Amino acid sequence: RRLRAIEQADGQALALHFTDGTVQLGPDDRVVLALPPAAAASVLPGLPVPERFAPIVNLHFPHSGQGPVRFAGITGGLSQWLLVRPGMASVTISAGLDVVDLPGEALAAQVWPEVAATAARLGIELPDGGPETAFVVKERSATPFQDEQWARAPRPIRAPLRNLALAGDWTTGLPATIEAAVVSAGQAVRRLGRPTIERAGARMADAAA
């Protein structure tokens, strides 16, 4: 359900307005808002959020083979990561500013030889793959563009309302990673003063570490 607006008064969230209804908040309710920057700004007007982003490009190749390796890093080419799972071999290109505007067919033609060579080296069978089978997904606003301008930009207030705290890698000042997202969750529940949830968040952070 898409969150459309947050009703607030006197520095506190009163209700969450979704596309299919409204959730009223009681005096003991707390909200962890884990939204991408633009979505968070749309429901909290005036919230400082990143405005420049780096894209991530993924190419998915169907396959029916097997192999001893599930995840591999690729160096020296366009591809960066290869994830092999049942029925699918997926390539990730992070910070893909140089490739995001290329046609999918051109991307697949460049990436597939790197995938095939890596798979052969690691003993991974990809009998059904090929550049013509690629499904290309481009996420243009995947991660904040973390340059000097980003480092100097104002950070969002992580608890903009008394009963609401922000979570998400972009709120921490750390690189945009899963670990940063987990850290942000622990910070959010601590700001909301819920000890039981805080302990659960600490366990999550320990597991990520």
Q: Can you give the pLDDT at residue 58? A: 97
Q: Can you give the pLDDT at residue 148? A: 83
Q: What DSSP assignment string belongs to the chain? A: --EEEEEEETTEEEEEEETTEEEE--TT--EEE---HHHHHHHSTT------EEEEEEEEEE-----S-SEEE--SSS--EEEEETTEEEEEESS-TTTTTS-HHHHHHHHHHHHHHHHHHHT---TT--GGG-EEEEEEEEEE--SHHHHHSPPPPS-SBTTEEE-SGGGSSS-SSHHHHHHHHHHHHHHTT-HHHHHHHHHHHHHH-
Instruction: Please write the tens of the pLDDT for every residue from 66-94.
Output: 667 788 999 999 999 999 888 888 999 99
Q: Can you give the pLDDT at residue 119? A: 87
Q: Can you give the pLDDT at residue 17? A: 97
Domains contained in the chain, CATH given: 3-50+147-208 (no CATH), 53-144 (3.90.660.10)
Q: Can you give the pLDDT at residue 67? A: 67
Q: Can you give the pLDDT at residue 98? A: 92
Task: Give this prediction's pTM.
Answer: 0.73
Q: What integer best gives the mean pLDDT of the chain? A: 87
